[in-house]
Amino acid sequence: MNYRHAFHAGNFADVMKHATLVRVLEYLRTKPAPFRVIDTHAGSGLYELTGAQASRSGEWRDGIARLLASAQPQTAAVLLAPYLAAVTACNKGGQLALYPGSPMLARRFLRVRDRLIACEREPLPAAALARNLHGDRRCKALAIDGWTALNAYVPPKERRGLVLIDPSFEEAADFPRLANAIEGAHRKWSTGIYLIWYPVKEPGSAEALVRRLRRLEISKILRAEISLATAPEPGRLSACGLIIVNPPWTLEGELRTLLPQLVAALAGGGGTSRIDWLAREKPSGLR
């Protein structure tokens, strides 16, 4: 399948992914030690929602636009506030015209000593990414394959941080490659947080990934999924998921608050969400 960022910017999958990303970044900011973000498939970083690519599908209208227009319960509104503030900061005059991708969102939450490495191999998005991050010494844009970057830049010199893995899934090998990449990166940097997005278009591929992850020697793996349709349209993405390795201790509870509210806002009824542990460390003292 083809899931190029520009065609789907601001859709329901971006909303889920980026709301979760911001919750992880907010957690990393609670401690004074610096952290690093490694974005392996960064795209261009900023998208014109009325441009040729994003407007072709108009998916953002049922994603970020619908969320911004919805009323959220106080508990969910507090959790969403930093993400939505980052989106609105990119837009002037109250008009939603631009959507920040993951590198621009990450950049907003960096402190003075925090760092971002954003990787993109496609020439045009890579050039746009370099322009969007230009002038910020905390950020480095690299025209490099994301899988290569994952091997080259893990572990970072900082002991704390996040790796975001968000491939386009244009190649059939991307699903099995994910499990191998996570295993190799975790072996080198076992304390890092890994946030992995995947589409649920062919459930068998997602479940095969889950089975492989369960077999790895990783003690903490959280899965979160949302589906906006009980009867998905052929060829149209209506469900996606996140795998979080070493999730912050706050994240499970936050997602249990957020995901049902996102489904309610974006699906208009009929959607579902689920959160479960693929691997969970036993509490101290238990055998």
Which CATH number fits the domain that encloses residue 225? 3.40.50.150
In this structure, is residue 281 part of a structural domain?
A: no
The answer as to whether 223 is a domain residue is yes
Read off the pLDDT of residues 155-181 as tens digits, 9 standing for 90 and up.
Answer: 999 999 999 999 888 777 788 889 999
pLDDT tens-place string over residues 215-236:
999 999 999 999 997 655 666 7
* 219: nearest Cα among 190, 243, 241, 248: 190
Question: Is 277 among the domain residues?
Answer: no
Give residue 153's domain range.
5-267
Domain count across the chain = 1
Name the residue among 24, 22, 15 with its Cα closest to residue 194.
Answer: 24
Q: CA 214, 218, 222: angle at the middle one, nearest 5?
A: 65
pTM of the entire predicted model: 0.93
Tell me the residue length of the chain. Answer: 287
- The answer to whether residue 126 is domain-embedded is yes
Q: Where are the alpha helices (DSSP H) in 154-277?
A: 174-188, 203-214, 251-267
Inside any domain, residue 187: yes
Active site residue 166: yes
Marked catalytic residue, from 136, 166, 174, 276? 166
Residue 46 placed within a domain: yes
Question: Where does the pLDDT of residue 286 fall: very low under 50, low under 70, confident under 90, or very high at 90 and above?
Answer: very low
